[in-house]
Amino acid sequence: MPDKPTARPIPAPKRRWTRWLLTRGLVLAAIIMPVRFFSLGESLAMYFPSRQAFATPAAYQDVSIPTPDGLTLHAWFMPARDAAPGERRPVILHLHGNAGNIADHVVFSEFLTDAGFHVMIVDYRGYGRSSPARLLTRRQLMTDSLAALDALMARGDVMPDRVGVYGVSLGGTFALQAAAQRPRVAAVAAVSAFSTWAGIASDHLPLLGPILMPGGLNARDAMPDIAPRPLLIVHGTQDAIVPVRHADVLRDAASSAGVPVELVRIDGADHNAIIADHPEAERAIAGFFKRVLTAEKPDHTRP
């Protein structure tokens, strides 16, 4: 009976190469897994809150909102400019982007008070005058967004069946998810929003970004629960922070889910000046909310 073949010894250079690869792989995994599992990459790369002091404009009301986990959020309630004190009006919740605080973002929504809407803009935990927080995550900010929306709907000076949610940049994800989780929201608008967390991570850190970014709460995935309520997407063609392709992804996902969706591309607009420098963006957003929120009956079927 022939002898069984014996394994050929691995040459020394190959063994050294194999050990090198294995060692480096283990080191890389030891770095990547905690960064992903504990959302360290998300926290450090996505959120840039400011707690710099700011004054409340005389026309705005300071609002305190409790969260389910025991924190307090600070918001501004901005009454419609032509409304009498306490007058009930359609209302829009503004969920802002990832840097600064409400004083830096109010320019993105104050024009809606000229259009006849009450508006509330809220700071997430860790931002502005809201409770301090470390290592922010999307789930925490989602909790804050829903707490703000619920508090807004409970006010006596708003029409709870005529509520819109308006998210800019990072806030677009939370606006879409909030509308998906609260069926009483009549309409949602997303401006300069990204479609998935892995997608925006890949835009700024190819290959490694999606590995470091945990999954969940993608704006794209909210669409089936938004239908049949209308959605407006507004995006600048020169947006270098959130490329305009994300708007196409969101539009296609909405259409596939049966969401009445309108995509408005603002030619030449970049990420941060899309409202300040482009009045056509203001007109598109105000016109959308007027069509939906001021109709005789709230219309959940068309943009």
- Give residue 137's pLDDT band: very low, low, confident or very high (50, 70, 90): very high
Tell me what pLDDT residue 10 has.
52
231 phi and psi angles, rounded to 5 deg: -130, 135
d(CA 303, CA 292): 7
Average pLDDT over residues 93-117: 97
Tell me what pLDDT residue 85 has.
94
Tokens of residue 39, six digits: 């959302």
Tell me what pLDDT residue 269 has.
98
Tell me what pLDDT residue 213 has.
82
d(CA 100, CA 105): 8
Tell me what pLDDT residue 300 has.
52
Q: Which of 43-52, 190-199, 262-271 has the lowest mean pLDDT?
A: 43-52
Q: What is the share, in percent, of the chain residues with pLDDT greater than 90?
A: 77
Tell me what pLDDT residue 3 has.
55
User: Starting from the edge strand earliest in sequence, which strands make up the sheet with 89-95, in order?
Assistant: 61-66, 72-78, 118-122, 89-95, 158-168, 185-191, 231-236, 261-266
Tell me what pLDDT residue 215 has.
85
Tell me what pLDDT residue 275 has.
96
Could you tell me which CATH number the domain at 39-293 has? 3.40.50.1820
Tell me what pLDDT residue 19 has.
53
Q: What is the mean pLDDT of the chain?
A: 89
- Does the pLDDT at position 38 exceed 50? no
Average pLDDT over residues 217-233: 98
Tell me what pLDDT residue 257 has.
98
d(CA 21, CA 43): 30
- Does the pLDDT at position 28 exceed 50? no
Q: What is the share, in percent, of the chain residues with pLDDT greater than 70?
A: 84
Tell me what pLDDT residue 165 has.
98
pLDDT digits (tens, 9 = 90+) for 71-100: 999 999 999 999 999 999 999 999 999 999
Tell me what pLDDT residue 27 has.
42
**Under 8 Å between Cβ of 292 and 230:** yes
Tell me what pLDDT residue 9 has.
55
- Give the residue extent of every domain in the chain: 39-293
> Which 3-state string (H, E, C) describes 150-211?
HHHHCCCCEEEEEEEEEEECHHHHHHHHHHHHCCCEEEEEEECCCCCHHHHHHHHCCCHHHH
Average pLDDT over residues 24-37: 44
d(CA 263, CA 185): 20
pLDDT digits (tens, 9 = 90+) for 150-208: 999 999 999 999 999 999 999 999 999 999 999 999 999 999 999 999 999 999 888 88
- Does the pLDDT at position 29 exceed 50? no
- Give residue 209's pLDDT band: very low, low, confident or very high (50, 70, 90): confident
